[in-house]
Every structure is written in C-alpha cells, then in structure tokens.
C-alpha cells in the first residue's frame, strides 16, 4: 500500500477527519472516520482503504460495505463475495467477516456506531483470498 499517498488523498477528500492506521508495522488498512460514533451513537461512517482485514465479528453492529474505488473480496461466514465499484453488502451481527483488496476504498456505515468493545477478532479462520 502506498501509505503516504493514501493518507494525503484522504486528507484532501476529508479535511480535518481522523485517520487511523490499523497496524503501524504491518499496515493493511487505513481508516478515515467521517462520522464517528462519539458524534451520534446510532451510526458511524468511515472510509476504509483495504488491502486485508482480519476475520472478526460484531455482536451488536450491522455494517454496510460499499466499494468506492477498486474491487473487494469479502468473506462472510466462509462464503466469498466479489464486490466492484458501486456494489454493497450488509454484514449482520455475529457474522465472521474479512476483506481483501488492493488499496480498495470502501465506505463503511455501522449501526449502531462502531465501538472497539464490539469488535472481536477470530483466530484460526482463513482470511479472504484472491
């Protein structure tokens, strides 16, 4: 991932919005919080630039992924879905999901708003493949 270029593009498109790197030593996802949960608890909106997300689930949150740029392979409960620009997918609570892209830009809307306490990483589950 071209980290600096992605960050600069996010800053231009969404000035003043927080940018979060998922892992500073093995970066596979960059998030930009457009409408964070702390502004309203009923929902949150983020732009995720994804190479790879680890398998995880949420007990309470429904997430809608909409591809804005590139293509995304989304794995939900071991079933693969290939999404292209303009396509979306709704992930229900307790569905184990992961994603693979190539600097793929995804709008993620979470209801209720995303909280770290409702994000559970799952080990031993393969990540999305090409």
Predicted local confidence at residue 34, as pLDDT: 96
Asked if 79 and 45 touch (Cβ cutoff 8 Å), the reply is no
Predicted local confidence at residue 89, as pLDDT: 98
What is the pLDDT averaged over residues 94-115?
96
Residue 78: band (very low, low, confident or very high) from pLDDT cuts 50, 70, 90? very high
- pLDDT, the chain, mean: 92
H helices, E strands: number in the chain = 1, 9
Predicted local confidence at residue 42, as pLDDT: 94
Predicted local confidence at residue 116, as pLDDT: 83
Residue 24: band (very low, low, confident or very high) from pLDDT cuts 50, 70, 90? confident
Predicted local confidence at residue 128, as pLDDT: 56
Query: Which domains are seen in the chain, by residue range?
Result: 3-121 (2.60.120.10)
The pairing of strands 29-35 and 72-76 is unpaired
**Element at 109 (helix H, strand E):** strand 97-111
Asked if 72 and 104 touch (Cβ cutoff 8 Å), the reply is yes
In 10 A of CB 13, how many CB atoms? 12
Asked if 63 and 108 touch (Cβ cutoff 8 Å), the reply is yes
pTM for the predicted model, two decimal places: 0.91
Q: Report the sign of the C-alpha dihedral through residues 98, 66, 105, 62, in that order.
A: negative
Predicted local confidence at residue 130, as pLDDT: 42
């Amino acid at each position: 991932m071209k980290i600096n270029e992605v960050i600069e593009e996010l800053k231009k498109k969404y000035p003043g919005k927080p940018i979060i790197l998922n892992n500073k030593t093995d970066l596979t996802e960059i998030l930009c919080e457009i409408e964070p949960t702390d502004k309203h608890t009923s929902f949150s909106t983020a732009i995720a630039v994804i190479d790879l997300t680890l398998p995880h689930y949420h007990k309470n949150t429904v997430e809608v992924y909409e591809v804005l740029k590139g293509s995304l392979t989304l794995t939900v409960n071991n079933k693969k879905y290939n999404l292209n620009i303009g396509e979306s997918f709704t992930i229900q609570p307790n569905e184990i999901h992961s994603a693979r892209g190539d600097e793929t830009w995804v709008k993620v809307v979470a209801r209720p708003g995303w909280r770290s306490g409702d994000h559970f990483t799952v080990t031993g589950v393969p990540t999305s493949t090409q």
